[in-house]
Amino acid sequence: MRRVLVLLSLTTLLAAAGCGGDEPEERAAEPPAATATATEAATETATATATETPSAASGDDEQVAEASTLKAEDFPSDWTSEPRDGDDTDSGCKDFEAAKADAAARVDADDFSKGQTTFAINTVWIYEDEAGATEAFKSVGTEKTRECFAEALAKQLAGESDGPEVGDVTEQYLEVGEVGDEVEAGRVTIPLETGGQSIDLALDLVFARAGRGITLLGFLDVQAPFAASLRDELTNKAVDRLAENAGA
């Protein structure tokens, strides 16, 4: 089975433009894409630089967002990471784009992967106050948003010139436990057929709010659903970190 490398944007689909000054649009991640590569090796683990954790009261929203993202050391030792790179584009999900635009800061974590089939991504949005984050979450944490992402990803996969044949996309509610002030999750399943072989691309989407921040996470596996125990562990780390930095 050829490698299906899916880099989802938590800026355009799951989130955020990256760091840089007071302009949230300075850096952003690319739209969902599927790239088949037969020989590409896994990326090497990025070395995390220890930094002092800023408080939410510091006024530096971008530092708060950066401090709240998942880090390489949060993952098992056989995972690798590399900086996310891409251009900010519209997801096509109207309510989501409005919530994204209202964020005071948006920062992407690195892209994390294990081998050639398992991936995790994370983006953090910080708002001026908790009321703003609460209002934004009404648009982000919805079944409608997850379905919109599923349709966008399926369309992108189907549009690849040498891409796989895409079957009917399904979305279902996902139970991840009570974390943060609000949490919503779902699993998007996309059947793919390529080279006479069939696989199901399973993407778990977790959106959580803590205080004046929202963390958006994507967990992807192209062989089986992402391991629930690791997904929940990473979700708890991400939300606890956000609560510490952006809590009320």
- Find, among 188, 157, 176, the residue nearest to 215 by Cα: 176
**What is the pLDDT at residue 189?**
86
Instruction: Give the E-state strand segments of the chain in sequence order.
Output: 3-6, 34-37, 80-82, 105-108, 111-114, 118-126, 165-166, 170-173, 182-194, 197-210, 213-221
- Number of CB atoms found within 10 A of residue 47's CB: 8
Give CA–CA dist 11/9, Å, rounded: 5
**What is the pLDDT at residue 46?**
22
> Is the predicted pLDDT of residue 22 greater than 60, yes or no?
no
Residue 2 buriedness (CB in 10 A; 0-12 / 13-18 / 19+): middle
What is the token pair recorded at 223? Answer: 């062989």
Q: What are the pLDDT digits (tens) for 167-201?
A: 888 888 888 888 999 999 999 888 888 777 888 88
Higher pLDDT, 85 or 135: 135
DSSP codes, 38-105: SSPPPPPPPPPPP-PPPPGGGS-HHHHHHHTS--GGGS-TT-EEE---------S-HHHHHHHHH-SE
**What is the pLDDT at residue 88?**
60
What are the Cα distances from residue 92, in Å, to 12, 136, 161, 163, 240? 9, 17, 21, 21, 30
The 8-class DSSP code of residue 128 comes to: S
- Find, among 210, 215, 209, 213, the residue nearest to 234 by Cα: 215
The pLDDT-based confidence of 163 (bands split at 50, 70, 90) is low
What pTM was computed for the model? 0.76
195-231 burial, b at 16+ Cβ within 10 Å, e below that, comes to eeeebebbbbbbbbbbbbbbbbbbbbbbeebbeeebb
Highest mean pLDDT out of 18-22, 155-159, 189-193: 189-193
Residue 1 buriedness (CB in 10 A; 0-12 / 13-18 / 19+): middle
179-189 burial, b at 16+ Cβ within 10 Å, e below that, comes to bbbbbbbbbbb
Domains plus CATH for the chain? 3-34+60-246 (3.40.1000)
